[in-house]
Amino acid sequence: MSTALLMMVLTIAIYLATLFVYRRHRRLYTTPVIVSTALIVIILLVFHLPYETYMTGGKWIDRLLGPAVVALAYPLYQFRDILKKMFVPIMTGTVIGAVVGIVSGLLLSKWAGFSDLIIHSIVPKSVTTPVAMSISESTGGVMPLTAVFVMIAGIGGLLIHPFVLKVSGLTHRIGRGVGMGSASHAIGTSASMERDTLEGSISTVAMVLSAVIVSIIAPGLTLLFM
Amino acid sequence: MNRVFIVMLQVAGLYGIYLAGSWIQQALGLFIPGSVIGMLLLFVLLSLKIIPEWLLQQGVAFMIRHLPFFFIPATVGIISYAHVFKGKGMLLIVIGLFSTALVMAVSGRVTQMLVKRREEA
């Protein structure tokens, strides 16, 4: 069997197994994307396989991320009336979230004494990977490193969101959706979608708006605060 | 036709829209990724009733239900950058998490406040 096929089968098998466990034992630490990633990383490390080898098969799954994002148009369409009615609150929250994300990431890593290269890489972390990478490229960051920070915002956000939502008193589905989409892009959206379709749709809108807003304001804010 | 075949056909349709989105992105030199343009495109097609809802329904439900699956190859990529987060680099994880929590709380609270005001009005 070719390596590519083996890697694909491995990923599908591990995902289905973790999903099986998750459906019976629904906890944060059994979330399929987290457990699957951890298991695959362990397998690659144990067998001394580089990421490039994994991606010969992984890229075929990665390629389906595009149509998966396209599919999010459906819930958006179903909730179009609420979206129209609540556009101003959603837009305002998302713009403020975009500014908070860029400025906090930049200033904290600057105060901690990290190099410009790392600071530029962390700035666009709240938005979806392809957009974050192109922002990072234009401001002078390292693209693969940015992808890792995007993962920290996504997976990390997934891990801490029950705590953050509780502490910040976010009870409304629209408020939660904007928080999840603005902070943790598509991974946050998938968690929102699982909880509630309206929250998930709001999160989708916030994710898309955030991607556009961050790419417009990141270069200017970076210049201002560096 | 069985269900699996319908889902596959509809996912192929979604893939076609994604390709159209990527093409638009390249042709116009946009910074927004092809997948997001594809999503906006499908939204417009649904709104104008050019694509009826039933045409892609099962495929859409399948993709959204298994959305996390499609992230796995990208998240496994962390393996290549583990060294950045050794020693002082650990601080970067803390910064990333703190900033993410801040964005979630602030953007959510602002929205919630404005929504509630609007609902009461």
Q: What is the mean pLDDT of chain A?
A: 93
Whether the per-residue pLDDT at A211 is higher than 70: the answer is yes
Q: Which two tokens stand for residue A106?
A: 């930049």
Residue A29 sits at the chain B interface (C-beta within 8 Å): no
**pLDDT score at A115:** 93
Better-predicted residue by pLDDT, A28 or B26: B26
Whether the per-residue pLDDT at A28 is higher than 70: the answer is yes
Residue B37 sits at the chain A interface (C-beta within 8 Å): no
Residue B105 sits at the chain A interface (C-beta within 8 Å): yes
Q: In sequence order, which residues have a C-beta less than 8 Å from that of residue A138 and are 6 or more positions away? A: A219
What sections of B31-89 are H helices per DSSP? 34-47, 57-65, 72-76
**pLDDT score at B1:** 65
On chain B, the residues whose CB falls within 8 A of the CB of A72 are 39, 64
Alpha carbon of B34: minimum distance to chain A alpha carbons (Å): 8
Identity at A135, one-letter amino acid code: I
Rounded Cα gap, residues B41 and A73, in angstroms: 8
Please state which of the ranges A33-42, A185-194, B67-76 shows the lowest mean pLDDT.
Answer: B67-76
Most confident range, picked from A27-31, A142-146, B58-62, B64-68: B58-62
CA dihedral for A112, B94, A172, A92, sign (positive or negative): positive
Query: What are the residue boundaries of the structural domains of chain A, listed by start?
Result: 3-63, 73-225
| Beta carbons of B109 and A215 less than 8 Å apart | no
Q: Which two tokens stand for residue A187?
A: 């991974």
Whether the per-residue pLDDT at A139 is higher than 90: the answer is no
Contact by Cβ (8 Å): B96, A158: no
Residue for token digits 């666009």? A124
Q: What ipTM is given for this predicted complex?
A: 0.91
**Contacts across the A-B interface (CB distance below 8 Å):** 314
DSSP A181-214: HHHHHHHHHHHHHHH-HHHHHHHHHHHHHHHHHH
Residue A176 sits at the chain B interface (C-beta within 8 Å): yes
Query: What's the pLDDT band for A1 if we cut at 50, 70, 90?
Result: low
On chain A, the residues whose CB falls within 8 A of the CB of B97 are 152, 156, 160
Q: What DSSP state is assigned to residue B89? A: G
Residue B81 sits at the chain A interface (C-beta within 8 Å): yes
Q: In sequence order, which residues have a C-beta less than 8 Å from that of residue B18 and are 6 or more positions away? A: A66, A67, A69, A70, B34, B35, B38
**pLDDT score at B26:** 93
Please state which of the ranges A21-35, A136-150, A163-177, B48-62 shows the lowest mean pLDDT.
Answer: A136-150
**pLDDT score at B96:** 97
Contact by Cβ (8 Å): A81, A162: no
Whether the per-residue pLDDT at A172 is higher than 80: the answer is yes
Q: What does the pLDDT look like over A61-114, one tens digit per residue?
A: 988 988 998 998 998 898 899 889 999 999 999 999 999 999 999 999 999 999
Three-point CA angle A88, B106, A98, nearest 5°: 70
Residue among A116, A119, A125, A117 at smallest CA distance from A148 = A125
On chain B, the residues whose CB falls within 8 A of the CB of A151 are 74-75, 77-78
Q: Which two tokens stand for residue B104?
A: 């979630």
Rounded Cα gap, residues B46 and B52, in angstroms: 6
Q: What does the pLDDT look like over B79-114, one tens digit per residue?
A: 888 888 888 899 999 999 999 999 999 999 999 999
Rounded Cα gap, residues B51 and B38, in angstroms: 14
| Beta carbons of A64 and B11 less than 8 Å apart | yes
Contact by Cβ (8 Å): A75, A200: yes
Residue among A221, A32, A218, A31 at smallest CA distance from A125 = A218
**pLDDT score at A216:** 87
Q: What does the pLDDT look like over B41-67, one tens digit per residue?
A: 999 999 999 999 999 999 999 998 898
